[in-house]
Structure 1
Amino acid sequence: MTSVLNIPRGPEDVTPTWLGAALGAGVDAVEVTPIGTGQTGATYRATVTYAQQSALPTTFAIKLPAQDDAVRERVALGYRSEVEFYTDVAEKVAIPVPGCFHSDITDDGTDFVLILADMAPAVQGDQIAGCSPVEARLAVEALAGLHGPSWCDGVWMQLSGIAMPKPGDKDAAKGMGDVCRMAADIVIGRLGSSISSEDQETLTAAMASVTDWLMAEPDRYALMHGDYRLDNMLFDPDRTRITVVDWQTVGIGLPARDLAYFTATSLESAVRAEIERDLVADYHRVLLGYGVEGYDLETCWADYRLGMVQAPLLVALGTAFASTTERGDQMMLAMLSRGCRAIRELGTLELVSSYR
């Protein structure tokens, strides 16, 4: 839904007048406070006082671009992807996401706004600490609600905000492979002293395999979150419900890439190795419940092994090209170590080689 309202440049522009017009309600006052730790966007909680009694919530999450102009320009495609997801995709899939009350974006994609349901008291996952088996099960079952309803449906190829090469696009796969090789060199040059020699070798080899990896299994695809990890998940305090956020990296590709990326980066390695077979089985079971046919568990397991390259790929791109923070570096190092170990333990690079 596109509006004629001005898009807030920053939180100071989220005024009672603007918010009231966006919500279609009289607003007397609004208090805006920052929440979250996003590096490519900025999220705020808006606490609203209405002019008269309203059925609308009294708090919202408002998402705006990063306040750094250079970052805005670099990730404009991601902003377009997220707005497109909430306006054109969210109601057609079954993954749990916040409700969207208003969305708008400029033609060049550098300014946007989303007014989303405030999911408090749900709390954000901790990427560095990792999650519990209970949280992991919630995450993989929720993921099937994205992949199942979009399974091998070519209609999604028409989305304009796709962030990753589409299945079977050889030129795009080669271009991504070249970028990933460069990103690996940047990461090792900047953080190499904190990365084991074994992980450096795995990272370099994995990024060298990206072109072949992207061309593997092009006929099996679905909508992908693209960055399906703990920092992009909100858990209710009793751990019975999950909400998935941050849809700036929506793609179309081998569905198990999302699954593998989640387990590799969001679970401690020993926990991942102990429970991953069960998690893949849980995901597969729920996936079939959405009508997916001709996809047996062993093929799902093979796709899961193959999908592990998603972990170092996103870590390398994020580390090389996104703004850096101390926590961000710590997070990327933890994710890289876990992801590289998973690749070695599951024989992922050998599997990629079998497609050449």
Structure 2
Amino acid sequence: MALPIPTTLDEITADWLTSALRQSEVISEKTTVLARTVEVLGVGEGFAAELARMHLSYKNGSGPATVIAKIPTSVEDNRNGSELLGVYERELRIYERILGEIEVSTPRLYYGDIEVNPDAASQLERIRKMERLPIWLLRLILWFLIRFNKGKTFPSVLIMEDLSPAEAGDQVQGCDLDRAGEALEAVALLHAATWGDRCPQERYWLVSSAVAPRLFHAGALGARRGFLKNFGRLLSDHTRELYESTRTDNIERTIRLHREVPQCMLHGDFRLDNMFFARDGGFRALIDWQLSSFGPAVSDIAYFICGSIDPGVSEAEIDALLARYHRALESAGVSDYPLEDLHAHYTEQLLLLLARMASVDLLDLGDQDGRGADLVSVWIERLDARMARASSGR
């Protein structure tokens, strides 16, 4: 019997968990979740979802002492944008159909369900048709959809393995070079397992990161004024100059990177908040697959470095990280991607990131003094530091 899909964390009751965990054979038919207590997680860390650790007790058997529950965010603007991007179905399908087939460490999915948007399968074709529209009209359409799209929302839920006592990364705090290297070696396994001909086939819920370069460019342009108003103080003069240059050449840069570079599956939100590390050292697991796509591997690499590495780290040390990633990629079987190509594509990707960073202004970051605002501020400061490489042509 199909279970109702909870729309709040409070609706994930002990009775509901009993049925869900029995259906997925995590607990036996005789075992009952007797009680659960809720520990809300990730306040200010994620923009598309609400998370909680649920502490469980059982009758007539045993099961996981804790589980992680994930449902869509209740923040309206963020929920609307996430629904438009199809992030909730994407994550569930990736857990169900892809992650079990490739070498990447992730939490076990105990139970997942979603009310599927009946228009989701046709949305990809609509997006491709929108690509033909002029940029000014795309900007207007996006602004309207994000601000005034008050249509039906589609509930979803994931119940997952709790990775504790492993420690979650902290993007605001950042990480040292050893931990950064461990993360890059881990994502190299994902990239290598799906490299080139092994890349997953397109589905409506998993598409190329270049499926709509004009649409993404329009979104970034539409957010430009607010971005500069709210975060422009964090940009150096040379980064501002580079930012202005991306207004005209970013679409071609996106197309070029996807045409010239071997494609693979991307995590899409490869940053410290979505990683776990063992307490005694070493990478443990990667979470949150809502923004996954396929495209050039350097997209994940540049995104991580610009979001996690202290501004004081030298470009020589960044080169050492790129070399460490490249060695891991080759060790996993990739032989058609020279290190010098990785360097060149990384520099190109920096400029793409700079242009698209403006899109953070479309998000509801919560309180001005909260973690969401802090996260974006340190991200921009770290990105600004890496722009010296792009401006020097390295």
TM-score (norm 2): 0.80
Secondary structure of the structure 1 residue equivalent to 2:223: helix
Q: Quick check: 1:148–1:290 contact (8 Å CA) kept in 2?
A: yes
How many residue pairs get aligned? The number is 343
| Cα displacement string for residues 202-228 of structure 1 (whole angstroms, at most 9, x for unaligned residues) | 333335432122111325211111121
Please name the residue that 1:145 is paired with.
Answer: 189
Conserved 8 A contact 1:181-1:208? no
Amino acid in the other structure paired with 1:42: E
Matched residues in 1 for 2:60 and 2:270: separation?
A: 40
1:160 is aligned, of 190, 198, 204, to 204
The aligned counterpart of 2:57 is 49
Match of 1:239 among 281, 284, 292: 281
Aligned mate of 1:9, from 7, 32, 44: 7
Paired residue for 1:354? Answer: none
Counterpart of 2:33, as a letter, is V
**Could you tell me the TM-score, scaled by structure 1's length?**
0.88
Q: Is the aligned partner of 1:184 residue 2:224?
A: yes
Q: Return 5+ residue gaps in structure 2 as ranges.
A: 118-152
Q: Which region of structure 1 is more displaced relative to structure 2, 91-100 or 130-139?
A: 91-100
Instruction: Give the fraction of aligned pairs with identical amino acids, expressed as a percent.
Output: 26
2:21 to 12, 20, 23: 23
Partner of 1:86: 95
Q: 1:314 deviation in Å?
A: 5.0
Structure 1 residues 270-279 or 58-67, which shifts more? Answer: 270-279
Q: Is the 8 A contact 2:191 2:266 kept in 1?
A: yes
Distance 1:287 1:309 in 2: 23
Q: CA deviation at 1:200?
A: 3.3
Query: Could you give the per-residue CA deviations for residues 219-240 of structure 1, whole angstroms, max 9, x where no partner exists?
Result: 5211111121112112222222
CA distance in 1, matches of 2:349, 2:230: 26
Code of the aligned partner of 1:12: D
Which residue identity does 2:273 align to in structure 1?
A: D
> Residues 60 and 188 (structure 1 numbering): CA distance in 2 closer, same or farther, change over 3 Å?
same
Against the structure 1 CA distance between its residues 199 and 329, is the aligned structure 2 distance closer, same or farther, given a 3 Å change threshold? farther
Residues 343 and 35 of structure 1: is their aligned pair in 2 closer, same or farther, counting only changes over 3 Å?
A: same
Bigger radius of gyration among the two:
2
The one-letter amino acid paired with 2:271 is R
Quick check: 1:329 aligned with 2:366?
A: no
Structure 1 residue 304 displacement after superposition: 2.0
8 Å CA contact 2:220, 2:358 repeated in 1: yes
Q: Is residue 279 of structure 2 the alignment partner of residue 250 of structure 1?
A: no
CA pair 45-158 structure 1, distance change in 2 beyond 3 A: same
